[in-house]
Structure 1
Amino acid sequence: MADLDRFLPDESFLLDREAADWRDAIRLAGRGLVNAGFTTDAYTDEMIATVEKMGPYIVIAPGLALAHARPSDAVLRTGLSWVRLSTPVEFGNKDNDPVSLVIGLAGHDENEHIEVMSAIAAALMDRRKTQSLATAKTPAAIRTILGS
């Protein structure tokens, strides 16, 4: 299991936040990455540009978007942000909209990137865990659910 305290510190969480649209939701994910020291603000712009260019492929499951961009100088170190929206937003993915959870991913090193994503993906495949994650009150509670 990835070291969630290192890759998903308290500073990277924004829980029960409002977003006007998908761009705003990605900006929140970017803020979490910046707050934790994983990226610069430029990475947030890169994540938005990726969706503008490639479409809403980042909406990988019902209600879940994995916001990311290619590795760049804007990534200071590998990490995640966790944004739970109080009101879901549309990304334009007919199969998986609306989105209420946006996970920001900044990959600095390919191996760490894969390790972190594998750990998160495994947790999110478990329906009981996803239900618990939707109501968990604190970053520590979310990390506990992900790690169990």
Structure 2
Amino acid sequence: MDLLDALKSIETGQHATNWREAIRLAGKGLVESGATTDEYTDEMIEAVEQNGPYIVIAPGLALAHSRPSPAVLRAGLSWVGLTEPVEFGHATNDPVRLIIGLAALDHDAHLEVMSTLALALSDETRFERLLGATSPGEVRALLAESAGN
């Protein structure tokens, strides 16, 4: 999955009062792009309620997702940059400023997207710039730079 092709929804300057609202924002982007139904957003929240804040995968970054399900219509990503970080309850990676919503049709696609994201976000300087991005165009440009485009 090409990262920029999958990323149909990019929102910056968003506000959430808690982690559930932050995930709902990511889910809204997945729904509006046609990748998932509203049920998938509920599944993402339920996954954190059942398993804890495992989705907070790096300082300031949450990868909101759930298992592939009938609520996933196609693979997709959403991007939500928050104006003020929220706590997910993670011991070392809180607070979160960026939530990336991930919808995958199967386990292999899920791993492929996570690998592509990890590569794009591995440069610390670029990651900090992505966290501070103020427009969808800026996010796209930084991600294109990471892909060598």
**Identity of counterpart residues, as a percentage?**
58
Work out the CA distance in 1 between the residues paired with 2:117 and 2:5: 14
1:5-44 to 2 correspondences below 5 Å:
5-9=4-8, 12-44=9-41
TM-score, normalization by structure 1 = 0.91
Q: CA RMSD in A?
A: 1.4
Q: Deviations over 1:4-55 (max 9, x none)?
A: 342002xx11211110100000000000101111000000000000000000
Unpaired segments of 5 or more residues in structure 1?
none
- Retained in 1: the 8 A contact 2:30–2:101? yes
TM-score, normalization by structure 2 = 0.91
Q: Deviations over 1:99-133 (max 9, x none)?
A: 00001000113343333222211121111111221
Q: 1:80 — aligned with what?
A: 77
Work out the CA distance in 2 between the residues paired with 1:135 and 1:21: 19
Q: 1:142 — aligned with what?
A: 139
Q: 1:3 — aligned with what?
A: 2
Q: Which amino acid aligns with 2:6?
A: F
Work out the CA distance in 2 between the residues paired with 1:39 and 1:127: 31
Among 109, 116, 120, the alignment partner of 1:119 is 116
Aligned length: 145
Unpaired segments of 5 or more residues in structure 2?
none
Secondary structure of the corresponding residue to residue 28 of structure 1: helix
